[in-house]
Structure 1
Amino acid sequence: MSKLPHKWLVVVSVLFGTFTVILNNSMLNPILPRFIEIFESDAVAVGWILTIFMVSMGMTMPLTGYFGDRFGKKKVYLVGLCIFLAGSTLGFFSSTLGMVILSRAIQGMAGGLMMPIAMALIFNSFPRYERGLAVGVYGVAAMVAPAIGPTIGGFLIQYVDWPWLFAFNIPFGLTGLILSSKFLERTETDPTKRFDLVGFLIIATGIGSVLFALGRGRTLETLFDPLNIALIVGGLIAIVLFVFYENRQEDPLLNLSVFKVPTYSVSIVVTSAASIGLFSGIFLLPLLIQNVYGLNEVMTGLLFLPAAAASGVFMSIGGRILDKKGPKYVVPPGLTIMALATLGLSFLQLSTPYWLILLLNTVRGLGMGMGNMPATTSGMNSIPEHLVAQGSAMNNIIRQISSSLGIVFFSIYYEVRRAQVSANPDIDMQAATLQTLNEAFLVSAIVLIIAIPFSFILKGVQDDKEEQEA
């Protein structure tokens, strides 16, 4: 490893930590029904295992810009990784559902500190014209972990007790901690920087309320529950209030001026659409494989492995194209490929072979790799260097909300629409489920298609050079 250039050791270091955070979250998804049996609880209580992670992560992210400037990005990342290891250790020794939920809250706080800072550390180590490839390699954590997590979680639970799902994180986390301590570069600090407490309380309340409402609103009844509506409306009001408040501050918690940069704003739109596309597949494909075609969890897990590999490979290829040619040569083609493959999933029939579904999902992964991280990199490249940590935090927050919104939409659509279709006496439940999933994939494809024209607005380092020369 010592033969690698130092800047690539930075990528490897943060890759270990962030991969572990995301992998742990996706590993627990297929295990929730088992927790209902283990703790003799219900789906609502067990659902907190996922909801609390999402909420605490979203509420912590706005702090990363301030912490990074005040104490240094390396220190913040290391503290976040230590907190994650503490949460994993608590999860391993948990004996009650309450302790598991508490450990997940701690892990979420750690993820909120680590994810935005990881991107900022990479940007700090690479010049603009090399960041595409660097972020593409790092993006393996963000894109591949959600795809392989359910497979690993399902495999582990077959052979070991559930606490080992938390222990699985510890070796990777410790490795990331050792590498990060040794190879991450210290960044400048500003001891005089003021903490915007009022701004934090407003935005934490807004994000926490919205994410909590989306986390519990997986059915039509719970989504339109008076409490849920109050949380969403109150959260949105708080976010709007935060925007007005921050624009009046000399030293804001989050500098919202980055949204005046067209490339950054468009990159948020593109990555949000891609996230909805990604998580729609993660939610819908297991239902398709198990409820329509009657295959088991192993076949479901295998469906995601080639897609994860394709996503990882083409994320690096897309990053290299971004560095050499610019975003217009990689992001629009990536979104188009992903949209077409998703569209193909909307035409499935009961006679469709498994290998064709696997192929379409692999092509989706290919398109995701080319479209998502290059869009993020071009957006982050377009903002001032001193705002990278804050820009990364806002990117992660909006992606978290859009992913949650996508899962809620497709969950409710699946339940409501399947009930409507199956009410027809001429259609059995299997055919009704297939029709519903076909329609859901069509909606996902439309979201991606809508994002394609926006992706042509993205500008890269090459465009900046041409403008300067002109």
Structure 2
Amino acid sequence: MTATAATGSSSDKLDSGVLKVAGVVVIGAIMAILDVTVVSVALPTFQREFHTTPATAAWTMTAYTLALATVIPVTGWAADRFGTKRLYLTSIALFVAGSVLCSLAWDIGPLIAFRALQGLGGGMLMPLGMTIMTRAAGPDRIGRVMAVLGVPMLLGPIGGPILGGWLVDVASWQWIFLINLPIGMIAFFAAFRVLPKDQPHPSESFDFVGMLLLSPGLALFLYGVSSIPEERTVAHAKVLVPAIVGFVLIVAFVLHALRKTHALIDLTLFKNRNLTIAVITMTLFTVAFMGSMLLFPSYFLQVRGENTLHTGLLLAPQGLGAMLTMPIGGRLTDKMGPGKLVLTGIVIIAAGMAVFTQVAADSSYGLLLGALFVMGMGMGLTMMPTMSAAMASLTQQQVARGSTMMNIVQQTAGSIGTATMSVIFTNAVLSSEPAKLYGGVLQGVVPADQLPPGAVEAGKSAFADAFGHTYLIALVLIAACLIPAFFLPRKKTTPNLEQVADGEAPAPMLVH
């Protein structure tokens, strides 16, 4: 296979070379994304096995997230300097090594440290995968390859609880990490054989100042934000101090990057109107949708009393809906632009979310699963077309930096959304005496058999009302996404012709 510039006459279909590259990237992405939700299921097990508190056990999630935030900003420069294939292989090796070490952890402290090592590898897999696939397919087919990359993003939240619950039940907690060893080996050797040979660009000077500002800035900011649910308020030192320090470092990086020619993150990309609008749309959407999506399993677990495995299965309709529309959305994005599709997808999501604003302790499963299916269909028409709007107009030299930027936006917005929805839900619970009492039952503080008659049923009803209130806020934020989405391009997008004329080639396409 050789790389040639994509042109308007390029084949409209994804050829076998691109599909092979897509398969390799999807394996790596599934491994990294599944790991996040698989571990979330095992938190109670970590508390029991290591005799630790819920807050300490949660650091097994936080350490992974903070490591992601630290390494993502460096990925764009490293991909240009060393080549995407070498860096991708290194990322897989780091992730698998961290996974094996996690399975050997003898206490909660080493487990947290090994999870951070995992995050260093996992943080690079998604932006690198996006870069590799964008360059392989070219701008004419970016919608379809983004649809392919969306598959692991759907399988993670759906398959993670199912896989994690099953592994913990039938084997042991170590296997939620050891499962990555055979998958990682397959991903490594497939990437070694399939990915095209690296053609790294002439080395640019590394922006050390930018790294010292942005990486710790993101990590501190996300740490502060992720501490909000635990502290139940923004006005707490554990939240404010790291969040403010992190925000100041991020602002300092922006001022630094605007003056530097080869900054760690190329802020001149925001001169691209399509990318800017896509970033705004993606930020609002991720805060609203991803934040609320994490509450769906909590409803089934806490209100309906389902176990982890059944909860994962109940969430499957959302993924099925997205799998139905995502390939269609990718194909149509390449032909007519993302604008109309994203607007349609947001309206569909809002229709499904509206059902959950009225959720009760005895709501029909048929109605709820149908609403999840509808929301999944909307997601398939929203998430990847928005990403395509950002990437399709970038030149080859901008793709690595652009994908890095989009992943930073997703990571940050996802953390903000999770914290926001968790705080809204927690405050709604605390404002209701029956809900607070039932919350004590769920935490094992209050024995259920010591409650007065009807208290558990009243508590479940109050919990359901708290979920409905939170989904109402999410619905408002989802509707707000319509404003920036209205300005997304409604015709096929191509790289800026002036940039191409200045010598920046469009993203190449793999042909035989």
Alignment match, 1:330: 341
Tell me whether 198-207 or 430-439 shows the greater mean CA deviation. 430-439
In structure 2, relative to structure 1, the CA distance for the partners of 1:325 and 1:358 (3 Å cut) is same
Distance in 2 (CA, whole Å) between partners of 1:125 and 1:373 is 17
Could you tell me which amino acid in structure 2 is paired with residue 459 of structure 1? P
**Mean alpha-carbon deviation: is it higher for 44-53 or for 216-225?**
216-225
Q: Give TM-score, length-normalised by structure 1.
A: 0.94
Q: 1:351 to 1:98 in 2, by over 3 A?
A: closer
1:462 corresponds, among 488, 492, 501, to 492
Cα distance in 2 for partners of 1:309, 1:179 equals 27
Matching of residue 160 in structure 1 with residue 171 in structure 2: yes
For 1:443, the equivalent position in structure 2 comes to: 473
TM-fit CA distance, 1:222: 6.3
Correspondence 1:17-416 to 2 at 5 A:
17-221=28-232, 223-416=234-427
TM-superposed deviation, 1:458: 1.4
How far apart, in 1, do the equivalents of 2:159 and 2:77 lie? Answer: 33
Alpha-carbon RMSD: 2.2
1:339: how far off?
A: 1.5
Q: Is contact 2:277–2:487 with CA below 8 Å preserved after alignment?
A: yes
For structure 1, which segment, 75-84 or 452-461, has the greater mean C-alpha deviation from structure 2 after superposition? 452-461
Render the CA deviation track for 1:65-112: whole Å, top value 9, x for unaligned. 110111111111111111111111111222221221122101111122
- Spell out, residue by residue over 1:166-196, the C-alpha distance to the aligned partner (whole angstroms, 9 max, x if none): 0111111111111111111234323431101
Secondary structure of 2:193's partner? helix
Structure showing greater radius of gyration is 2
| AA in 1 matched with 2:374 | V
Q: Secondary structure at the match of 1:330?
A: helix
> Which letter does structure 1 place at the counterpart of 2:97?
A
Relative to structure 1, the CA distance from residue 160 to residue 222 in structure 2 (aligned partners, 3 Å threshold; closer, same or farther) is: farther
Which segment is superposed worse, 307-316 or 364-373?
307-316
Give, as a single letter, the amino acid of the residue that structure 2 aligns with 1:457.
F
Q: Answer yes or no: is 1:434 the counterpart of 2:445.
A: no
Q: Separation in 2 of the partners of 1:113 and 1:373?
A: 19
Counterpart residue identity of residue 62, structure 2: T
Q: How many residues align?
A: 466
Q: Which moved more, 1:332-341 or 1:46-55?
A: 332-341
**What CA distance in whole angstroms lies between the structure 2 residues aligned with 1:320 and 1:93?**
45
1:395/1:464 Cα in 2 relative to 1: closer, same or farther (>3 Å)? closer
- Displacement after TM superposition at 1:4 (Å): 6.4
* Change beyond 3 A, Cα 1:420–1:61: same
Q: 1:282 is matched by which residue type in structure 2? A: M
Q: Higher helix proportion, which one?
A: 1
Q: CA deviation at 1:254?
A: 1.0
Partner Cα separation in structure 2 for residue 298 and residue 84 of structure 1: 26
Structure 2 distance, partners of 1:10, 1:236, is: 37
Secondary structure at 1:428's aligned position in 2? helix
Letter in 2 for 1:363: V
- The Cα of 1:423 is off from its aligned counterpart by 6.7
